[in-house]
């Protein structure tokens, strides 16, 4: 039996990465639902602007959910798909009954900051495993999200 998977990564490394990516998947799913809730429930003078922006964010988050799940499959493992697993694995917690525009933006900012911090951990694990595919994917996410954090910070003043 080979100690490498179908894409040539060491089985142990692929397993470790898949576990980290399942945690990331959980974070993306919880964050997606939070942002979806902000979109639905935001109120205030910036409603139109925020409602549209939150839709842009949750649409991108949903695409990343799919990409992360597919990367887990590419590594030869199964993505978690139960919401109960997501709430257990996620560092991002459910944000309930938030409707104030500024509070919603702060929730988005916090979610992206948490993702960036965790993705940097994954980037290190992927690098150690010589997993260029995961490293590239995660690096792209970090780059995009760092700019978003800057923009959200500027919005909040």
User: pLDDT-based confidence at 1, cuts 50/70/90?
Assistant: low
**Which tens digits make up the pLDDT trace of 113-157?**
999 999 999 999 999 999 999 999 999 999 999 999 999 999 999
What one-character-per-residue DSSP string does 29-49 give?
HHHHHHHHHHHHH-BSTTHHH
pLDDT at residue 2, as a whole number? 79
Rounded-to-integer distance, Cα 14 and Cα 21, Å: 10
Percent of the chain exceeding pLDDT 70 equals 99
pLDDT at residue 42, as a whole number? 98
- Residue 104 makes CB contacts below 8 A (sequence gap 6+) with 38, 41, 42, 50, 54, 98
SS3 91: coil
Please give the torsion angle defined by the CA atoms of residues 20, 21, 25 and 28, in that order, rounded to the nearest 10 degrees.
80
Dihedral sign from CA coordinates of 129, 68, 89, 94: positive
If you ran DSSP here, which 8-state letter would residue 97 be given? S
pLDDT at residue 12, as a whole number? 96
């Amino acid at each position: 039996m080979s100690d490498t998977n179908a894409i040539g990564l060491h089985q142990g490394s692929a397993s470790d990465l898949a576990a980290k990516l399942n945690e990331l998947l959980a974070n993306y799913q919880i964050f997606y639902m939070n942002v979806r809730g902000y979109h639905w429930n935001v109120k205030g003078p910036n409603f139109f602007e925020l409602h549209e922006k939150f839709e842009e964010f949750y649409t991108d988050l949903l695409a990343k959910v799919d990409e992360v799940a597919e990367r887990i499959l590419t590594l030869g493992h199964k993505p978690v798909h139960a919401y109960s697993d997501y709430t257990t694995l996620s560092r991002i917690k459910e944000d309930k009954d938030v409707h104030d525009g500024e509070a919603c933006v702060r929730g988005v900012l916090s979610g992206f900051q948490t993702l960036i911090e965790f993705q940097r951990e994954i980037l290190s694990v992927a690098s150690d495993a010589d997993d260029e595919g995961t490293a590239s994917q995660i690096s792209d996410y970090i780059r995009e999200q760092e700019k978003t954090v800057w923009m959200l910070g500027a919005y909040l003043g």
